[in-house]
Structure 1
Amino acid sequence: MAGLMHPRETVERLAAEWRKAGVEAGDVLLLHSGISRTLRRMREFGFENPDPALILDSFLAAIGDDGTLLLPLFNFDFTKGVPFDIRSTPSQMGALTEVGRLREGAVRTGHPIYSFAILGRRAEDFRGLVNLSGYGADSPFGKLHGLDGKIAVLDLPDQNSQTFYHYVEESLSVPYRYRKSFTAAYLGEDGHAGPRTFELFVRDVENGVLTHVDPMGELLWERGLYRGERPKQGAGLRTISASAMYDMTAEVITSGRAKGLLYDIQNP
């Protein structure tokens, strides 16, 4: 019956589901999320006013006081010449990420296209991080990898979530992508504005390259590297070790199997 569940009970119930999918206390966790079904599920199990903030609280509860949560705040307007303000440019990655951006104590990284909100014990380790390339070794993707972190995906297919693949592709300099520069006005923490240039490792659209990573996701399931549930099933959360994902993706690339698993070519 709607309205009978207390917010704390809601948070605890969701946190328990995330733990079953592989989230653990102390994790450094990158979370990609689609939350509409989770909000509906919250109503179904007795909370009549579901709030994205409670979902954020549930992930923070699952990783505990020693954990660190990374939320993507990706915004592609900078590629069109729109100024970026690290203090106010919104996320284009959904309601949960905006709640995270605005949460007290959140630290935002400084790439104007691929920035992140960081919450938890290691948040200050990310303060002042302004990486040149969105997927570079010094990016939050690289830090996640170096910290032996995890990636969690809530109710989204790999095609609409797993940007970590591009970090692996850049680290191995795959031939079907290349570094492209973007310049626009940039406002930092101090409010100082000026033109700055940043890079992305983009697909070679002139040669018909399409991002096509769902088959790679299926391979991760087959190899037992994903833990949890597929999108729209059960709680809808799956997790994977960033190191395991890197190693499997690198194996596919170096063995010449990237086409059909990570990208495809559009016919003329």
Structure 2
Amino acid sequence: MIKTLAQEWKQAGVQDGDILLLHSNIKRTFKRYLKIGIKLSANDILMSFIDAVGTKGTLILPLFNFDFTKGVPFDIRNTPSQMGAITEAARMYPCAIRTGHPIYSFAVIGHHASKFENIDNYSGYGADSPFALLKDLDGKIAVLDLPDQNSMTFYHHVEEMLEVDYRYHKTFCADYMNASAEQSKKEYGLFVRDLDKGVVTHVNPAGELMWEAGLYSGDRPKEGTGLRVISAQKMYDFVSDLINTGKAINTLYRVEGVDGV
């Protein structure tokens, strides 16, 4: 069954040796297989993606947890992911490494995991973040049964690299416990949307444009396997062009609740 799932992911565009960032909603995959009498676990689905990228591949899953923004202490060894069961399975996977940002951390499994091991990026989407390394390593982003709006955090990496004027840098501070169980007060940043200007993230239109441009392979959410795949570099270039040509508004964001809008 793991092999069968892995073959589905390959048909959608996953290849042996890929460095793959996966965002996912696994509910429909569970239901698809229950209809044929197979009860999957989150670990089964995780293993199928590990199988799909192969022994030379690397799988990256988001372990995002937003409690640090509220002053809640972060423990890199124990703070759970808030991104669903498959991401928790990845966090607990033997030899998985966890990157250091307390809000936007990742579990990394596989051949190139060591390249991510010492990442403790200050800004969640910054030039020293796993998003940047994913692009530099010619990685891919896969999304299972989620719209861009609810998955594609990589948009914000591009926005930060281009210092868009509808977001700004904000800092958060709380207790932080590292892998050696050493605790200290630490400060981290995020490039957040400007709420005072009524900025609302609105990226599904950009996703449609990437479909039209042929940048996605695989299936749309809730269709077929539900998995789509895109090159991180190609997405970066495409989104950069939207921003640089003045097309970000109503494609990457919109403005609400300001001046009667």
TM-score interval, smaller chain: over 0.9
Which residue of 1 is the match for residue 26 of structure 2?
35
- Residue 162 of structure 1, aligned match among 152, 156, 160: 152
- CA deviation profile, 1:39-80 (whole Å, cap 9, x unmatched): 111212331x31110100100110000000000000000000
Number of residue-to-residue matches in the alignment = 258
- Residue 98 of structure 1, aligned match among 88, 91, 105: 88
- Residue 207 of structure 1, aligned match among 178, 181, 197: 197
In the alignment, does 2:10 pair up with 1:19?
A: yes
Greater mean alpha carbon deviation, residues 124-133 or residues 27-36: 124-133
Distance 1:26 1:233 in 2: 26
Amino acid at match of 2:253: Y
**Alpha-carbon offset, residue 109 of structure 1:** 0.3
- Residue 148 of structure 1, aligned match among 122, 135, 138: 138
Q: The residue matched to 2:220 in structure 1 has which SS?
A: coil
In the alignment, does 2:112 pair up with 1:131?
A: no
- CA deviation profile, 1:185-224 (whole Å, cap 9, x unmatched): 0000010111000000000001100000000000000100
Amino acid at match of 1:119: I
Amino acid at match of 1:178: Y
In structure 2, the gaps of 5 or more residues are: none
Q: The residue matched to 1:38 in structure 2 has which SS?
A: helix
- Residue 118 of structure 1, aligned match among 108, 129, 133: 108
Q: The residue matched to 2:72 in structure 1 has which SS?
A: coil
**Alpha-carbon offset, residue 25 of structure 1:** 0.2
Distance 1:260 1:157 in 2: 16
In structure 1, the gaps of 5 or more residues are: 1-9
Alpha-carbon RMSD: 0.7
In the alignment, does 2:230 pair up with 1:264?
A: no
Distance 1:121 1:150 in 2: 15
- CA deviation profile, 1:130-182 (whole Å, cap 9, x unmatched): 00000001100000000000000000000000000000000000000011000
Which residue of 2 is the match for residue 74 of structure 1?
64
In the alignment, does 2:219 pair up with 1:229?
A: yes
- CA deviation profile, 1:107-148 (whole Å, cap 9, x unmatched): 000000000000000111111210000000110000000000
Q: The residue matched to 1:58 in structure 2 has which SS?
A: helix
TM-score, reference length from structure 2: 0.98
In the alignment, does 2:37 pair up with 1:46?
A: yes
Which residue of 1 is the match for residue 167 of structure 2?
177
TM-score, reference length from structure 1: 0.95
In the alignment, does 2:46 pair up with 1:56?
A: yes
Q: The residue matched to 2:127 in structure 1 has which SS?
A: coil
Of all paired residues, the percent bearing the same amino acid is 58
Which residue of 1 is the match for residue 230 of structure 2?
240
Question: Runs of at least 4 residues of structure 1 off by over 4 A?
Answer: none
